A and B are shown apart, each in its own frame.
Chain A
Amino acid sequence: MNLGAPATRTQKSTVAIVDDDPSVRKAISNLCESEGFDVVAFSSTAEFLRWSIPETPVCMVLDVRMPGENGLDFQVELAKSHAEIPIVFVTAHGDIPMSVRAMKAGAIEFLTKPFRDQDLLDAINGGLAKSRMRRNALEMNAELEARYQSLSNREREVMDLITKGQLTKQIAATLNLSEITVKVCRRQIMTKMQANSMLDLGRMSEKLERMRSGPAELR
């Protein structure tokens, strides 16, 4: 399908750093800036939650242990709120069970302080790529939805039947329309949905179906 890929490549990427230690926070910010990322830094996850997450790809660098909270619990909480931001964990003492738990819950990487700069930057780039993909997918979904919304009720009915495999004649009979009308509708649908072929339209319809049956997320 020819959903024009959004120009995210050239877009700025943001790294959100959450660490209660001011000197570590400053140092990671410095490193990320030297790599050309936009950087925002927070001293607690509570502070992070007050931040309005930008439209650009975002990756989070999170200290596992901070006073009054636990990075792993926060990861779960964040996932529940559907704000799916890839997380790179850093920790002072990396115990294996903890890192296993973090990775299972979808962490990008689990690094022990002091980490190699390249390891951190690689992990961040990995996280940003994931965020970008997720963003693109969401944008594509939104685009598809918008195209579908531009169809008239009649056109939607026709599209439904087309994708169920009915021929023009059958559709005309089912909807009590002339074959000409159905053909016109059909052309309209292809144009509005920007579908190249019947197969393409079928895929779009399938995707819309799936979007209807769950929250708007990457599928």
Chain B
Amino acid sequence: MMPPHAKAQGVDEPNAPAHPNRARRFARPWAYFVSRLDPRPQALFSPMLPIFTAALAIAIFIFDTVTPYEIAAASLQVVVVLLSLRFCRKQGVIFVSLGCAALSILSAVLTIVSYVPTAGSTFSLGVINTSISLTAIAATAYLALATETARQTAERAQAHLAHVARLTTLGEISASIAHELNQPLTAVITNANAATRWIRSEPPNPQKVTSSIESIVEDARRASEIIARIRALTTRAEPQNAWVDINAVIQEVLVLIQSQLNENRIVVRAELNNGLPSVFGDRIQLQQAVLNLIVNAIDAIGAAQADPREIRIRSRKTRPSGVEVSIEDTGGGLTTTDVNQIFDAFFSTKTGGMGIGLSICRSIIEAHHGRIWAEKGEPSGATFHFTLPGTQEANQ
């Protein structure tokens, strides 16, 4: 009953390459399928569980077989079905249930063959008990499947919500993106003009021509990297889990949001600790969460006409091996009396606000087994914290 991917994920990760994004697509294509099979992060998953479950099923089978026929120990197999829910998807649960039913019938047959029934009444009692066991297994299997379906639907809805949010935020930061692309393109055009001048100058300066062309290549590459980032934000994908450096995530978001920060004349102070543990999760979802928090901070500073206009982003290690990120702004602070209310979907105090930013943040952080909360800032503003579990080893 041990799923084939259980080990693969655990063994592979410590030497995960520096660019999990790229590696995920090209270096380990099978890893993609693995993450589709079981998107539940590893923390939930103990490789001992399937072994234990199988052992339990066999133990129940033996117990059921050696005890007299009228003792229907087979109904205990419902425990096996319920346990399988912890590590199997739909097909797996069906398979386990059928296995349990088969074991119950086999045990009934074996019991009948070895113990010649003494009285007709006991035999019929046994048949009734076997049927009850089978019915119990079937009912449990049905409930288990319903639960699994509901969970999958919820998961898909969450992924969809994150996608919607990605697109919404994309609209918000399109100005940012235009600016981001405009910079390297300006550099390309200017360097190309300069190269022409260096060729035409008397005498021509081939060294300067070469260095101009090198700059052009560099700038063009930067432009294409920006496009790749935008594509990553817009394409809809199932969550793709990998080991992620949370500091890199924060820095990527800062690049995306830079021109919006400039426009609002906001200074970001990033105090990112080195040597943080890696966190296991979906890079883009985590970017999304950080982005939403920064966008909110920008909104808050803008609305309050705050001075100074600062966002402080800190990351640090938590015990035993997690990370905590805090985003502190100098805006007007939280106005609601109930601090948790802001995380509710469609709660917003802004005229143009949808009120989904923080609820998406929370669903993303909780899907990564982390926690998110808000605090009043000192002396003003608001501070948002989130924690995520990580690995034992530090990055790099």
Residue of A nearest to B205 (CB): A34
Nearest chain A CB to B180's CB is how many angstroms away? 9
Interface residue count on the B side (C-beta < 8 Å): 34
Knowing A35-B197, A114-B182, A114-B190, say if A26 contacts B215 (CB, 8 Å): yes
CB pair B261 A67 closer than 8 Å: yes
Q: Is there a chain A Cβ closer than 8 Å to B208's Cβ?
A: yes
Asked if residues A21 and B183 are in contact (CB atoms below 8 Å), the reply is yes
- The DSSP consensus for interface residues of chain A is mixed
Residue of B nearest to A31 (CB): B194
On whether the beta carbons of A23 and B218 are closer than 8 Å, the reply is: yes
B residues 172-219 touching A (CB-CB < 8 Å)? 175, 178-179, 182-191, 193-194, 197-198, 201, 208, 211-212, 215, 218-219
The residue of chain B having its C-beta at the shortest distance from the C-beta of A117 within the complex is B193
Write out the residue numbers on chain B whose beta carbons fall within 8 Å of the beta carbon of A31.
190-191, 193-194, 197
B157 at the interface (CB under 8 A from A): no
Q: What is the CB-to-nearest-CB distance from A91 to chain B, in angstroms, rounded to a whole number? A: 10
**B307 at interface, CB cutoff 8 A:** no
Is B259 located at the chain interface by the 8 A CB criterion?
Answer: yes
The answer to whether B197 touches A27 (Cβ under 8 A) is no
A68 adjacent to B183 (CB under 8 Å): no
* Interface residues as binary, A16-46 with B (CB distance below 8 Å gives 1, 0 otherwise): 0000010110111011011100000000000
Cα–Cα distance between A27 and B175 once the two chains are bound (Å): 23
Interface pick from B104-112, B262-270, B290-298: B262-270
Query: Are the C-beta atoms of B265 and A24 separated by less than 8 Å?
Result: no
Whole-angstrom distance from the CB of B348 to the nearest CB of chain A?
28
**Complexed CA–CA distance, A109 and B345 (Å):** 48
| B71-99 CB contacts (< 8 Å) to partner A | none
Q: Which residue of A lies closest to B308 (CB)?
A: A68
Give Cα A93 to B183, complex, Å.
11
Q: Is A147 an interface residue (CB 8 A)?
A: no
* Inter-chain contacts of A24 with B (CB < 8 A): 183, 186-187, 190
| Docked-complex contact A92 and B219, CB < 8 angstroms | no
Contact A93 B179 (CB under 8 A): yes
Task: Please state if A33 and B215 are interface contacts (CB–CB under 8 Å).
Answer: no
Knowing A23-B184, A23-B215 are in contact, say whether A68-B190 is a contact too (CB < 8 A). Answer: no
A-B contact pairs, 16 of them (CB 8 A): A24-B183, A27-B186, A27-B187, A30-B194, A30-B212, A31-B190, A31-B191, A33-B194, A34-B197, A34-B208, A65-B259, A65-B262, A66-B262, A67-B261, A92-B178, A120-B190
Q: Which 5 A-B pairs have the closest CB atoms?
A: A117-B193, A27-B190, A34-B197, A27-B187, A23-B187
